[in-house]
Structure 1
Amino acid sequence: MATKIRLQRHGKKGKAFYYIVVADARAPRDGRFIERLGSYNPNTNPATINIDFDKTLDWVTTGAQPTDTCRAILGYKGVMYKKHLQGGVKKGALTQEQADAKFAEWTEQKENKISGKTTSLSTAKSDARKTALAAEAKKNADRAAAIVAKNTPPVAEPVAEETTEETTPAE
């Protein structure tokens, strides 16, 4: 039986989230599945991915073929890299300790990259909120000034009388 690791759609229109499942290749997209491995929510930024790493690695090593999107998700979480390193250990190119060290280093870099993105997104969001509040405060001040100008009665300025000095003929 050919097994696939693929996405099973859930949620409502426009707000889809997905279960990552192992299913027979002949089963319908949202139909029967063998095992649920995790979930994927693309509506958050960055996308939320929860998978059972060990189960997924076991399925990938036993021959389950991920779809293109699932392959990208599993690569993002490190399952495909771990499988690659395990292949190197089986062939004798690496020792298990070297493979574990490489995977730990890769995981640390990935976590730093993700945390950097989340902090940059949160700072950008807070900066945008501050500028929007400043613009709103300026607009409210301008509006208040316009109302005050409209409601104050016009001040009648006294008309200055021009005094003309009579010129006397010079003697």
Structure 2
Amino acid sequence: MSRNVRAMRCSPEAVFEVLADGWLYPGWVVGASRMRAVDGDWPAERSELHHSVGVWPLLIDDDTVSLEWDPPRRAVVRAKGWPIGEARVTIDVREGSRGCIVRIQEEPVEGPGSWIPRFLTDPMLYVRNRETLQRLAFLAEGREGASRRRSG
């Protein structure tokens, strides 16, 4: 299982505001290129994001399903990325001294990606999720900073 951790200069609530806005998914998830639809009850358990992965004209339509939603502490999704397969992605957030600490864990659970030995997949997932956390930080920190500027 690949694990990444990043300190962010924002509250855990700001991180979960980004996660709760399904339309922002391609803004922070590396590989997701566009949104097609967001279930009206997203991010409730069993609700779905309908997105595409890849680069035009080689786009694959897929879905991500919410498995657990416990803001501002934990979110778990099953991200589909066929033909590679599916992965269980867990995001844990806790208060930090100057904001929060965000950990993302990703584990291939179905399809060809789950057949490849972890010592081969984990380094690739680590690099991808390092960028994913950076993008999530940009959105969450920027959202909270803009909110402070408007109210201040």
Same-fold call, TM > 0.5?
A: no
Higher strand proportion: 2
**Structure 1 length as normaliser, TM-score?**
0.30
Instruction: Mark the structure with the bigger radius of gyration.
Output: 1
Higher relative contact order (CA 8 A, sep 6+): 2
**Structure 2 length as normaliser, TM-score?**
0.33
